[in-house]
Amino acid sequence: MGSGAGARYGAEEKGREKSMNNHYDEERLKQSIRELLKKRKAILLAHNYQRDEIQEIADITGDSLGLSQAAAQTDAEVIVFCGVHFMAESATILSPDKTVLLPRIEAGCPMADMVTVKALEKKKEEHPDAVVVCYVNSSAAIKAHSDICCTSANSVKVVNSIPNGRPILLIPDTNLGRYVASQTRKEIILWPGFCPTHHRLKVEMVQRAKAEHPQAEFVAHPECTPEVLKLADYICSTSGMYKYARASEAREIIVGTELGILYRLRKENPDKQFYEPWEDMICPNMKLTTLEDVVYALESMVHIITVPEDIRLKARKALDRMLEIPRDY
């Protein structure tokens, strides 16, 4: 064997060894998580954008609100929320008697941070008769200052449930606001927030993907820009995408949302092909949580997400008003 081939062989061996070690590490970590979950009487929730290995070990995967609702119905004493901060807060709001852990405390949502209570109160003064509809991607404090919440799955229904005659201030996502405005006859006041991950998806990227896969349908999350949504065959929440993929006759689907969604889409539909229009469609916050973080969170019972009771009760009201309206999937 020549030295070039020898070096290559050595590198391949090392690579194989490393991936086998990683595999054993991953299995060991998953086993620790299973044992710790039992010991703590805990349930592990993972949002649809989490890393594959986190989704794989989760008791429940789903969208932000669906996860909190599901958790509230279990008899678990501890909820480990693999997602971002506002989601863990929603779980605390809906399950005040459970301990909610967010394994990475810095996992936030930049869009949720694009509205502050001060700025919202100022806007409310400018529009004193407006009904404030708050996307669940927002802090508990913002929910507490809102009239009703909505999710990407039910935003149009929520807005349509509001009696005519009053304008609607929809916070914080301007793209969701524009999408809802296009689907209703209500007057919508927009807020200039956006999801950096979805906002960066450009028309040219979708067009390129469509040219590469001419038979494919394109589904998009309403956090995408109106220009991108115009190209979509179907617009829906992450939960809606699973349902759509199962029901669609299409064998190929281009998915306009964070690429964590591919894990379950591919698993549930092995006979279909799924493509991302752009390989960088990643939410860095959603990718922070690792298996090691989950082990640590359960061992050390960190980081506990609390919401002051006065804020929790007001935020709960806004969530409850929404929950009375059936969801679209």
Interface ranges with ligand 13P (CB under 6 A): 48, 63-64, 137, 151-152, 195, 223, 237-238
Residues 6 or more apart whose CB falls under 8 angstroms from that of 94 comprise 68, 69, 71, 72, 316, 319
Q: Which two tokens stand for residue 106?
A: 């810095």
Q: How many CB atoms lie within 10 A of CB 31?
A: 12
Which of 195/307 has CB closer to ligand 13P? 195
Residues 6 or more apart whose CB falls under 8 angstroms from that of 288 comprise 104, 106, 107
Q: Residues 164, 166, 170, 176: is their CA dihedral positive or negative?
A: positive
> How many residues belong to the site for ligand SF4 (CB under 6 A)?
13
Which of 86/244 has CB closer to ligand SF4? 86
Rounded Cα distance, 47 and 67, in Å = 7
Segment interacting with ligand SF4 (CB under 6 A) among 65-73, 113-121, 282-290, 291-299: 282-290
Among 59, 110, 203, 252, binds ligand SF4 (CB under 6 A): 110
Rounded Cα distance, 44 and 51, in Å = 14
Please, are residues 80 and 95 in contact by the beta-carbon 8 Å criterion? no
Among 37, 54, 67, 109, binds ligand SF4 (CB under 6 A): 109
Which of 96/196 has CB closer to ligand SF4? 196
Which of 50/92 has CB closer to ligand SF4? 50
Residue 172: cis peptide before it, omega within 30 degrees of 0: yes
Which of 76/80 has CB closer to ligand SF4? 80
By the 10 Å C-beta count (0-12 exposed, 13-18 middle, 19+ buried), 235 is classed as: buried
Which of 82/250 has CB closer to ligand SF4? 82
Q: How far is the CB of 196 from ligand SF4 (least distance, A)?
A: 6
Among 45, 133, 195, 224, binds ligand SF4 (CB under 6 A): 195
**Chain residues 216-245 in contact with ligand SF4, contact rule CB under 6 A:** 223
Q: What is the DSSP letter of 304?
A: B
Answer with the entry of ligand SF4, ligand 13P, none that 285 interacts with (C-beta below 5 to 8 A by kind): ligand SF4
Judged by the rule CB under 6 A, the positions of this chain that interact with ligand SF4 are 84, 109-111, 137, 195-197, 223, 258, 283, 285-286
